[in-house]
């Protein structure tokens, strides 16, 4: 893959579709780009399951953090010999890709223990298809407890020591601060793109903006920053050339869940005339919101960012309570309703859902819950239900 922002790529601003095509091609098959980058930079590629692993720490160790997003749903059934059928499709897909050799470009893997399935798959994966470096990253559940920060700092210290041993490189405070600045830059660019998407969904639709965010988990942040910056410039240029006039009114929705999977779900929202104006998805706005402090102790900065993010399912934080977050997000964005996107058999989301629905109902906010699977192509019923929900919101608007 040629980096559009690199020397020799030409001075003319490419159109946004060309840049989006570059990013989407990486999503469909990351292996060629990852192998090229690893060979050019002579770095070890350390994968991580989305998305509560401190990637900055991996980067500061001189490694290449790679988010194991689901890009080959056809490998799910390979995991059936090792995982129960009711394990969520994200984990079954990731493990299945490893069993099929689709992740052989990785030298390591970090698994955040955010649910029973991730806790279990780590031990199975380590036995059945191990990498040279494998670590679980244990997260505190009660994020607002005084002990949570110390616990998280201890986990990061343990991970730091293991990464230094694996990469044979000492992680200095200066290295980590540089990595934090790089990652903050990426998050800032992606937030600007997300805001552009809300303002101009005809130029940057739902599928496109989430593809850009997901691609940032795959490409090194140095390369992704160049592409994101050029994409933003191209989009702003194209928006300036649009004829003035009343823009088409779209229904504004919030997405809530773990992932916006399968990607065709986002195509359905585009076709239905909806625009996603906010979310708490791990591969969406939750991934790009909140920066780490660039001054002071970098480990404290990373811990504080993690502890003050929007809580994921079955994590508690009274200062960032999920029901209150959804209410606030609806009010801030003027959303017409909320769509819960739940992976089938995702127990944490299933446990959280009754409280979230009850909160929205009490506030008179319409919501819809759809159950999806990574790699699923049977979306006819979901298409019908989402279409009807968007029509209902449009009529009530």
Q: Give the pLDDT band (50/70/90) at residue 244.
A: low
Of the candidates 156, 351, 197, the one whose C-alpha atom is nearest the C-alpha of residue 288 is 197
Query: Is the alpha carbon torsion for 386, 376, 119, 284 positive or negative?
Result: negative
Q: How far apart are CA 333 and CA 285, in angstroms?
A: 13
* Fold adopted by 248-397: Rossmann fold (3.40.50)
Q: Return the pLDDT at 247.
A: 60
The residues pairing with 66 across neighbouring beta strands, listed in sequence order, are 47
Phi, psi of 76 (to 5 degrees): -55, -45
The tokens of 338 are what?
Answer: 């909320």
Is the pLDDT confidence value at 377 over 80?
no
Whether residue 218 is predicted with pLDDT greater than 70 in this model: the reply is yes
| One fold for 43-171 and 248-397 | yes
Angle between helix 173-199 and 298-308 (nearest 10): 30
Residue 187 has pLDDT above 50, yes or no: yes
CATH of span 43-171: 3.40.50.11890
Contacting residues for 7 by C-beta, under 8 A, at least 6 apart: none
Residues 206 and 270 sit within 8 Å (Cβ to Cβ): yes
Neighbours of 287 (CB within 10 A): 21
pLDDT at 27 over 50: yes
Each residue of 51-73: pLDDT tens digit?
899 999 999 999 999 999 877 77
Per-residue pLDDT tens over the stretch 137-169 = 999 988 888 899 999 999 999 999 999 999 999
**Tens of pLDDT, residues 108-121:** 999 998 888 898 99
- Other C-beta atoms lying within 10 Å of the C-beta of residue 229: 18
Indicate the pairing of strand 337-343 with strand 251-257.
Answer: parallel
> What is the tens place of the pLDDT at every residue in 30-57?
999 999 988 888 899 999 998 899 999 9
Determine if the pTM surpasses 0.75.
yes
User: Which sequence spans correspond to the domains of the chain?
Assistant: 43-171, 248-397
Question: What phi and psi, each to the nearest 5 degrees, are found at residue 43?
Answer: -125, 160
Cβ neighbours of residue 390 closer than 8 Å, sequence gap 6 or more: 251, 253, 269, 272, 273, 274
pLDDT digits (tens, 9 = 90+) for 317-365: 877 788 999 999 999 999 999 999 999 988 889 999 999 999 999 999 9
Residue 212 has pLDDT above 50, yes or no: yes
């Amino acid at each position: 893959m040629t980096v559009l922002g690199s020397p020799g790529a030409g001075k003319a601003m490419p159109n946004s579709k060309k840049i989006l095509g570059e990013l989407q091609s990486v999503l469909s098959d990351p292996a060629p780009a990852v192998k090229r980058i690893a060979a050019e930079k002579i770095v070890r590629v350390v994968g991580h399951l989305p998305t509560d692993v401190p990637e900055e720490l991996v980067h500061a160790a001189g490694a290449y953090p790679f988010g194991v997003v689901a890009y080959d749903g056809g490998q799910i059934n390979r995991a059936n010999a090792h995982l129960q059928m009711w394990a969520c499709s994200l984990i079954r897909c990731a493990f299945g890709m490893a069993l099929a050799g689709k992740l052989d470009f990785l030298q390591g893997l970090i698994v955040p223990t955010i649910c029973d399935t991730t806790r279990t798959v780590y031990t199975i994966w380590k036995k059945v298809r191990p990498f040279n470096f494998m670590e679980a990253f244990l997260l505190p559940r009660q994020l607002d407890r005084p002990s949570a920060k110390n616990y998280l700092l201890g986990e990061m210290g343990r991970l730091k020591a293991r990464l230094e041993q694996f990469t044979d490189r000492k992680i200095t405070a200066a290295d980590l601060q540089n990595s934090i600045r790089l990652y903050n830059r990426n998050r800032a660019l992606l937030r600007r793109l997300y805001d552009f998407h809300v303002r101009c969904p005809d130029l940057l639709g739902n599928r496109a903006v989430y593809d850009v965010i997901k691609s940032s988990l795959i490409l090194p942040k140095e390369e992704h920053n160049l592409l994101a910056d050029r994409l933003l410039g191209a989009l702003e240029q194209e928006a300036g050339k649009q004829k003035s006039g009343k823009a088409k009114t779209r229904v504004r929705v919030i997405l809530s869940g773990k992932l916006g999977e399968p990607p065709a779900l986002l195509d359905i929202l585009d076709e239905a005339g909806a625009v996603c104006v906010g979310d708490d998805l791990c591969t969406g706005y939750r991934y790009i919101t909140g920066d780490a402090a660039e001054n002071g102790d970098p480990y404290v900065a990373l811990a504080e960012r993690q502890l003050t993010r929007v809580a994921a399912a079955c994590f508690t934080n009274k200062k960032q309570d999920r029901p209150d977050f959804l209410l606030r997000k609806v009010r801030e964005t003027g959303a017409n309703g909320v769509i819960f996107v739940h992976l089938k058999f995702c127990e944490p989301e299933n446990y959280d859902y009754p409280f979230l629905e009850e909160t929205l109902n009490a506030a008179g906010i319409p919501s819809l819950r759809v159950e999806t699977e990574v790699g699923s192509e049977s979306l006819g019923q979901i298409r019908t239900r989402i279409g009807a929900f968007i029509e209902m919101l449009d009529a009530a608007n």
